[in-house]
Amino acid sequence: MSNASMVLTFKTELSETNVNGEILKPDAREAIQALLIYIRKLAAGNARGNIEAQTSATAPVAASGTLTLVSVIATDVFVVGSETFTFTSTPSTENDVEVDGASDTLDADAAVAAINAHSVTGLHFIASNVAGVITVTAKAKGSAGNELGIASVDSTITASGAYLTGGTGGAESAVTSYNFGIA
């Protein structure tokens, strides 16, 4: 039995907030049901969008990148996807990360917790920490993850690159597009 894969990419006029609220659900069955409702709206002409179906003979691999922490201080920032996180001694928003300052590992643990619990990045990324090196991995497997950004302008936080890397599968394969009113 082969392990072929299929990646569906949806382009929609919905805002990211609406997609996150209407389609992306924590429970897999709820997410599939919400996605089917959206596809039915497209098919009936009640929504506009584009679906690309990509197939591959091999299973896709998730893209990843690293953020290396060395003596971070309050006010240091890093970016994962579209979200900017700030180290602070008094966190008050979901984009704030509590700085310990005495241990890169503890600071990285706090950053990992913030990334994974965040209302946006928690949907698209999974982060882990080993000795102050945070690995950020795209939840969606495939080469599309190579377009997801990570960054820091502070000398205490070094990103492995401007984007995640190593994502394979899906996009390199045959693509069939279905247009429902937008390109």
Q: pLDDT tens digit string along 51-88?
A: 777 776 667 788 999 999 999 999 999 999 999 999 99
pLDDT higher than 60, residue 172: no
pTM (two decimals): 0.67
With a CB cutoff of 8 Å and minimum separation 6, the contacts of 120 are 16, 20, 81, 82, 83
Tell me: the pLDDT tens digits for 12-47?
887 777 777 777 777 788 888 888 888 888 888 888
Q: Is 72 helix (H, G, I), strand (E, B) or coil?
A: coil
> What does the buried/exposed string (b/e) look like for 124-156 if buried means 16 or more CB atoms within 10 Å of the residue's CB?
bbbbebeebbbbbbbebbbbbbbebebbbeeeb
68/124 Cα distance (integer angstroms): 20
- The pLDDT of residue 57: 64
Contact of 7 with 169, CB cutoff 8 Å? yes
Backbone angles phi, psi at 169, to 5 degrees: 95, 160
**What's the confidence (pLDDT) of residue 42?**
82
Confidence class of residue 92 from pLDDT cuts 50, 70 and 90? very high
In percent, the amount of the chain with pLDDT more than 70 equals 87
More confident residue, 127 or 9: 127
Task: Tell me what pLDDT residue 1 has.
Answer: 47
pLDDT at 175: 61
Q: What are the boundaries of each domain within the chain?
A: 5-60+173-180, 64-159
Percent pLDDT > 90 in the chain is 46
pLDDT value of residue 30: 86
pLDDT for 180 equals 63
HEC-encoded secondary structure of 19-69: HHHHCCCCCHHHHHHHHHHHHHHHHHCCCCEEEEEEEECCCCECCEEEEEE
Mean pLDDT score of the chain, rounded to an integer?
A: 85
- pLDDT of 179 > 70? The answer is no
Contact 111, 77 (CB under 8 A): no
Cα 42 from Cα 21, distance rounded (Å): 18
Distances (CA, A) of 18 to 25, 34, 148: 12, 12, 20
